[in-house]
A and B are shown apart, each in its own frame.
Chain A
Amino acid sequence: MKKIYSIALLLVLSLSLYAQDARNRTVETVVADVLAAMPAQTADILSANMADLAATAPQSVVEVAKLMKPAAAGVKNSIYEYALTGLVNYVNDPQHNAKAGDVMKGLQEAAAACQDAVNKSFFESLQRMLQPYQAPQEEPGLTLKEAKKLLKAGSTAEKCLAACTIMNEQPAKVWKTVASALKSDDGQFRNSVIGNATKVVGASALVPLFVSKFKKLGSEAKADVLNWFGDNKISAVAGLVASAVPEGGEVGKAAISAAGKIGGNKALAALLGQLGGENAEESLTALKSFKGDIQDEVCAALAGELASGKDFSVGDNGKLLQNLLKLVNARKIAKAAKQVYSMIGSGSKYLEALGVNSLQNVVGPDDMEKVASLLDNSAPVQEKALQNALTSALHTLAPAEQYSKLSGIMKKAANVAKFYPCLAATGVDEAVDDLVADVEGGSWKALLSLLKVDNYKAAPALLKLAKSDLSKAGPLLSRYISLVDEYETSAEKKRFNLGEVLSLAGSMEDAALRTILKKSALKSLSGVPTMKAFLLAGKYLGDKEVAPFNGAFYEAADAVRKIAAKTTEEINYTDLKDNLTKAAEIYASTGKADDAYLVKEIETMLAKAEPSPISELTEEEKKQGFEMLFDGTGLDNWQGDMEGYIPVNGTIYVSANYGSTGNLYTKKEYRNFVFRFEFCFLREGVNNGVGIRTPMGVDAAYYGMCECQILDHDAPMYANLRDYQVHGSAYGLIPAKRVVHKPLGEWNTEEIRVEGDRIKVTLNGEVILDGNLRTACKGRNVSPDGSKENPYTYDHKNHPGLFNKTGYISFCGHGEGLKIRNVRVLDLGNKK
């Protein structure tokens, strides 16, 4: 916000500057005006200013240059540097370079007159920027003669250069050079020549050479050529490549990699065949990325292998089959369903286990009942795979349908618990309810699944369970944090929830768990850009545990830094400074480059922050005996809801909610007093109040002497407000005069004077209430007949506290958006 604001402001200022007619100004005035706009925040402002400066060049350039001094303490050359660079860029723009010559002239004059070496070189560098562009001169390369010599006697790098030179100079020699390099046992040279030859003549021109030489090559060169075939995707050699696939070692590996890149049927067949071979792993990788639909070929290979009659469980016999199934799984080859079911029904334990494992990748919507029945009757080792398979089949339906289908299945099932993970995977509210019910019924399996549900509804249940047994709360809280992190949209609720986890984690016995939970909660908290989140995170900057856990201090540092950078709320200067300084120390202590950056980030943030203003009593107030209750620094004279009332940069920021707990009380009790304070509303319709002679923990409007309204009654929502509710009223007892407040964000001053039964309220210098509460209700603060209806009070309600002799002064919170500052009190004692 602030940034945009200042840019807009500058825009307005500068527009007004250049709206003047440049021709009527002297060069000095033009220069002064332009310099005032430096650095320009937008391209438009810059252009407008530079147009003026260009129009008055070369004099303007000389004038600006004259202002520059040798760099030293306190010398500020930057605006001149901005101006001159901006000018050079401006006249360099092909659109307006008519004045480039004049600018150049000015710069030459400036350089000639300049005595300071650094500034002079600046002017010269600007002159260089006005020169036409010329391609840099290339250094002469090797002559052919030198190249030939080096090719024989040079180091490897020199030989590479020599061959490269020869091929560039004489493309006709490429074949010969490559052919000879292929015979070399120096891999660096060989591959360099192959690479550079490709650049000179193109890949296709080299293919016949490689094909003709291939058989006679050594194995390392063969691997190079095969890799080259693959990198250049030479489909014409698919057969040759395929035939090299079964070779072992590096040659086989290169062939496999090439076959995968070149593609086609021959390559596919060769790669599938190699899945049982020495380089099976490489083949599998190649097949996972093999372009095109390979379902039929994979199924055929699978069927063929299954029909081979091998005993797969013996030795390496199952390798090919296992790898084919890995491929089925990786590429979700649904067509293999037939083979997979046949394995499950084969009666062989070995095949059944493999088949079950692949099931999730081949099931379709029609398979649900079949899979459910397999799951219901499954052995423990197969449970997980079958659960995944059923989930995968269910996943073809919409979530609501998944649930209804699954609950139908579960009603018929003998082993309901086996279906919990599938239930959890539906993610619907009903699934959460069902799981919570079963967890409460004592099922730990239901709990395990509850931990997996991707639904925020599970969060309260997890928290409740965690609280009931902290020793087992680790995974529950961990899941709770991730759910809150992902789903909680209210920043305040998120902060509250994470705060709860942090405090629970703090009382856990296991140091590892304690740290893990704190770290993860703080990580999530770092995304909550509020002042309260900042303060909460700050409490963990000193969180240290013994090695190897170390504590969550680093995450706390991340959180305070990120929140401070992002928040639009004000953070109290001393808190900001304390927490960020601690965070910077934490970053500095790691010695890592990225952390050093973060130290800088923090330094910049702190440089921008300003300390809190401090309110002081006036001389007259001092004489009269006023006492400062809040001068902007701390709430030492107050008690009550210290979370809802936070000192922020000289003010009390109120975020307390309505209720007997959302109140801030003076530490002392007062009978007769003058209470002065300033307040401002940050948003429309803010509601609060000053409790008079009130006990703690009650509604001051009824159980205190009265509550003196603080209300933004100017908000449209209060158009139909009752008169005894307007700002300043003794709530429900005496209406105040309805006056208009200062605009949002501006400070109002208020004085409340209480003497005996009399209350007088002055707002912004105007008395808005002056009355006697005892006479206002004719001495009947409660209904004489004990009923709820009291005809004597203005609001017809009982006010049992009205005749309190003494009590606290309080602020009675009704939500966010109020700021209070400069709170003073004059104790008038107990007379009257």
Chain B
Amino acid sequence: MAQTRRDFIKKAGLSVAAATILPRKVLGAMNGDKKYVAPSDRMTRGIIGVGGIGMSGLHFVSDERCRLVAVCDVDKNHLDNALAKGQERFGEKLQAYTDWRDLVRDPNVDIVHIATPSHWHGLMAVEAARAGKDIFCEKPMTRTIGEGRKVVEAVHKYGRIFRLDTWFRFKDTFYGLGTTVEPLKKLVDSGLLGWPLTVRISGATGFAWKFYWTGKTNLEPQPVPKELDYDMWLGPAPYKPYHPHRVHSSFRGYWDYESGGLGDMGQHYIDPVQYILGKDDTLPVKVEVDAPQQHPDAVGIWRSITYTYADGCKIILEGEGFESEGKVPYIEGPKGKVYKGFECTIPNVMDIINQLPDPEPRNTDFLDCVRTRRKFALAEDNGHHSCTIVNIGSCALRLGRTLHFDPDKQLFIGDDAANLLVNQPMRAPWKI
């Protein structure tokens, strides 16, 4: 039986806990500080994967609201580095794990931060949910549509709070677009652009696809470095002989683990569009690709990927080097267009926008969501949806043909081969 830290406190040290837990509100009011956190409310977090994003300044943090207590990696060098940095930056002796299942079951961890390559995300998120942990998961959410459904289901069943880590739907100007999402949302909601809308995600509208995240073919097998547990790195992925390009910072170039630039950047770019178009509850019904033939292992480049929703709205992704020429709108509707930097064909658009109500407030403080058990602004459901769009695209790329999709069943229509990509087998003994 899995045990949460609070259960642990309850069972193991009731009297001690009772003595130290002071009424938070009283203390907070005394300090006049909204962010004041009583010791009993201070949450804890463990990171799985401390080679790349897990070590970033955004995530390798420990503060008064949430303490970093544990890290896990299958590369000894990564782990040693994280332990040293933990000591150096927070004076904290982090608990180190080489098997993520141990971190997930650690009763001292409240929140599991999944920062591994994405072929692990689904499996880890489901297990974390089962163990009663809340989950902070890096994008893309899962490598297959089927794994995504499992995560959604587990998070719901086990009553967990889940946050998918991309944020452009609620803050920052995203990449080269030069505007935040909020005014775009107001503009689209106002109906001034008309309907249906076409959104173009392209170098021409400020988005780079990172095409250099492509894989290499004809890899010569190499000996596995002694610091790396390659079998555990692969986990549910099919066994392929080791080559350094397959792992760590270049893993995205292989279909077994992710889907290149589309996988890396796709959810960043597409997720806000789902929000802007008000389509968080649905998905496109068709995807068309224009691309060179894809290799079965190494991800290649593509020229365009076009998604169409049932109501005629479209998202068009344009590959690097294949952008539309001239002045290209980010969003185009029958009545107006909006370009990079919120340049708009509608006169005095800002005056109009300013008079409209703001978009509905959203819960964008993850730790507060964990505390109050309210859904985060980008959680398992909408996160799974935007990730599914990425995955629909990679299925079509791999098969090289137009696919039709059923948003309710979350399966392709009349295409067995495509559906085999929706639910892919895992290498034994892994099972989701």
Contacts and interface: CB of A to CB of B under 8 A. Distances in A.
Contacts of A215: none
Given A92-B415, A164-B159, A250-B372, 18 more contacts: A43-B290, A72-B221, A74-B220, A81-B217, A89-B398, A92-B416, A121-B238, A133-B417, A135-B423, A156-B4, A261-B360, A288-B357, A289-B357, A289-B360, A596-B52, A600-B249, A600-B250, A601-B212
Contacts of B53: 593
B359 A289 contact: yes
A395 interface: yes
The interface centre, meaning the residue of B1, B3, B157, B239 with most chain A CB atoms within 10 A of its CB, is B157
A46 interface: yes
A257 B362 CA distance: 10
A73 B220 contact: yes
Contacts of A156: 4, 6-7, 132, 159
B2 A157 contact: yes
Contacts of A593: 52-53, 56, 249
A74 B297 CA distance: 18
Given A82-B295, A92-B399, A157-B158, A128 B420 contact: yes
B231 interface: no
Interface in A103-133: 118, 121-122, 125-126, 128-133
Given A191-B159, A199-B156, A288-B357, A129 B417 contact: yes
Interface stretch (A33-41, A408-416, A494-502, A676-684): A33-41
Contacts of A132: 416
Interface of A is mostly: helix
Interface stretch (A23-31, A182-190, A376-384, A424-432): A182-190
B213 interface: yes
B146 interface: yes
Interface in B344-372: 348, 351, 354-355, 357-361, 372
B218 A78 contact: yes
B357 A157 contact: no
Given A157-B160, A596-B249, A600-B250, A43 B219 contact: no
A609 interface: no
Given A136-B146, A196-B156, A129 B420 contact: yes
Contacts of A158: 1-2, 132
A99 to B, nearest CB: 14
Nearest to A591: B55
Interface string A168-205: 00000000000000000001111111011001000000
A403 to B, nearest CB: 18
Contact of A81 (B52, B296, B400): B296
Interface residues of B, number: 70
Given A43-B290, A85-B295, A332-B354, A597 B210 contact: yes
Contact of B373 (A154, A190, A285, A592): A190
B131 interface: yes
Contacts of A128: 420, 425
B293 interface: yes
A89 B400 contact: yes
A286 interface: yes
A483 B360 CA distance: 36
Contact of B292 (A39, A195, A330): A39
The interface centre, meaning the residue of A93, A189, A231 with most chain B CB atoms within 10 A of its CB, is A93
Interface in A231-290: 231, 249-250, 257, 260-261, 285-286, 288-290
Contact of A161 (B6, B157, B218): B157
Interface string A137-168: 00000000000000000111110110010000
Interface in A567-598: 592-593, 596-597
15 contacts: A41-B293, A43-B400, A82-B296, A92-B417, A118-B240, A126-B296, A128-B425, A129-B417, A157-B130, A190-B373, A199-B156, A224-B373, A291-B357, A593-B52, A600-B213
B277 to A, nearest CB: 19
B129 interface: yes
B373 A187 contact: yes
B223 interface: no
Contacts of B93: none
Nearest to B291: A43
Contacts of A92: 399, 415-417
Nearest to A224: B373
Interface string B205-240: 000001011000111110000000000000000111
A76 interface: yes
Contacts of B2: 155, 157-158
Contacts of A597: 210, 212-213, 249
Contact of A93 (B239, B295, B300, B401): B401
A155 B1 contact: yes
Interface in B384-432: 398-401, 414-417, 419-420, 423, 425
Contacts of B156: 164, 195-196, 199
A273 B148 CA distance: 44
Question: Ordered nearest first, which 6 A-B pairs have the shortest CB separation?
Answer: A192-B159, A160-B159, A157-B132, A78-B217, A92-B417, A191-B373
Interface residues of A, number: 83
A192 B240 contact: no
B194 interface: no
Interface in A441-465: none
Interface string A34-59: 00001111110010000000000000
A716 interface: no
A601 B209 CA distance: 12
B25 interface: yes
A395 B416 contact: no
B123 to A, nearest CB: 14
A291 B186 CA distance: 12
Contacts of B238: 121, 125
Interface string A71-88: 111111110011001101
The interface centre, meaning the residue of B52, B398, B416, B419 with most chain A CB atoms within 10 A of its CB, is B416
Contact of A133 (B217, B219, B250, B419): B419
Nearest to B401: A93
B286 to A, nearest CB: 15
Contact of B220 (A71, A227, A249): A71
A122 B417 contact: no
A325 B350 CA distance: 20
A805 interface: no
Nearest to A230: B360
A196 B373 CA distance: 13
A86 B293 contact: yes
Given A85-B295, A164-B156, A133 B416 contact: yes
B76 interface: no
A94 interface: yes
A223 interface: yes
Given A85-B295, A191-B159, A191-B373, A94 B220 contact: no
Contacts of B359: 289
A160 B157 contact: yes
B361 A285 contact: yes
B241 interface: yes
A464 to B, nearest CB: 28
A155 B3 contact: yes
Contact of B355 (A118, A223, A292, A332): A332
A188 B373 contact: yes
B300 A39 contact: yes
Interface in A627-682: none
Contacts of A249: 25
A249 B34 CA distance: 12
B171 interface: no
B39 interface: no
B351 to A, nearest CB: 7
Nearest to A83: B293
B374 interface: yes
A327 B248 CA distance: 50
Nearest to B261: A597
The interface centre, meaning the residue of B53, B129, B132, B213 with most chain A CB atoms within 10 A of its CB, is B132
